[in-house]
């Protein structure tokens, strides 16, 4: 076999691959723009605070790139982990040492399950179970933010205080917060184009 066939592709090293540098840069920039507000929101929803969510997204991206993955993989915070972490944070009283130890232990368990190739058995889980789980996660995330939509903060962290704070928030809404929430939701809705003529930037100039 000739040396040209056995040589590594140009720009490819033992640990670094610069063959698609431009795509990697734009992909990282796009993922960062999307993940930044997502990480801040998930950190706040989990009870650990927005800074914790930001650092979590940074470390996830760093270690995912360090240990490899696929070319189209995007690593970042996810909704289901917010609910799990919120319950963990509330159960451990917000103690950073205990929370960090639990997260590290969960990571070790995930690595062990990956080495043993237990991920292949997820296909045995029925679709209604997965669909119900994801729907429940969505309901919990909405409940965590519902009282804040009306301008009120729950008395404590976790799902139960968030649910119990909703009736009082609905009965005594903060109109400014409700207006901002309505404007945000309308700007991302399918019928947002109908609202553009109402914006000053789209008014006719004299």
pLDDT tens for each residue of 150-159: 888 887 666 7
CB atoms within 10 A of CB 147: 23
pTM reported for the whole predicted model: 0.52
CA dist list (Å): 141 to 19, 43, 81, 125, 184 = 40, 12, 11, 23, 17
Please list the rounded mean pLDDT of every run of 10 residues in the chain (206 residues).
45 61 79 78 75 82 72 67 77 83 87 87 87 83 82 76 84 86 72 51 51
Mark whether 109 and 150 lie in a shared domain: no
Contact yes or no for 166/147 (Cβ under 8 A): yes
Residue 99 lies in a domain: yes
pLDDT in tens, 115-148: 898 888 888 888 898 888 888 878 877 887 888 8
Q: Domain containing 144: what range?
A: 125-206
Residue 2 lies in a domain: no
Residue 67 lies in a domain: yes
Out of 91, 116, 136, pick the residue that ends a domain: 91
In angstroms, the CA 56 to CA 39 distance is: 8
């Amino acid at each position: 076999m000739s040396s040209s066939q056995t040589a590594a592709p140009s720009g490819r090293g033992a640990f670094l691959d610069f063959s698609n540098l431009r795509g990697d840069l734009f992909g990282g920039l796009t993922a960062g723009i999307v993940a930044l507000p997502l990480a801040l929101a998930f950190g706040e929803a989990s009870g650990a605070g927005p800074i914790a969510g930001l650092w979590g997204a940074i470390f996830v991206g760093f270690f995912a790139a360090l240990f490899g993955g696929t070319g189209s993989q995007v690593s970042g915070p996810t909704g289901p982990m917010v609910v799990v972490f919120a319950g963990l944070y509330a159960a451990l009283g917000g103690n950073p040492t205990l929370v960090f130890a639990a997260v590290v232990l969960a990571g070790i368990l995930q690595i062990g399950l990956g080495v043993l190739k237990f991920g292949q058995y997820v296909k045995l889980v029925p679709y209604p179970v997965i669909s119900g789980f994801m729907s429940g996660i969505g309901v919990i995330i909405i409940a965590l933010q519902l009282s804040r939509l009306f301008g009120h903060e729950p008395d404590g962290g976790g799902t139960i205080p968030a649910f119990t704070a909703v009736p009082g928030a609905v009965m005594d809404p903060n109109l400014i917060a409700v207006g901002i929430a309505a404007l945000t939701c309308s700007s991302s809705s399918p019928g947002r184009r109908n609202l553009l003529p109402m914006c000053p930037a789209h008014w006719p100039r004299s």
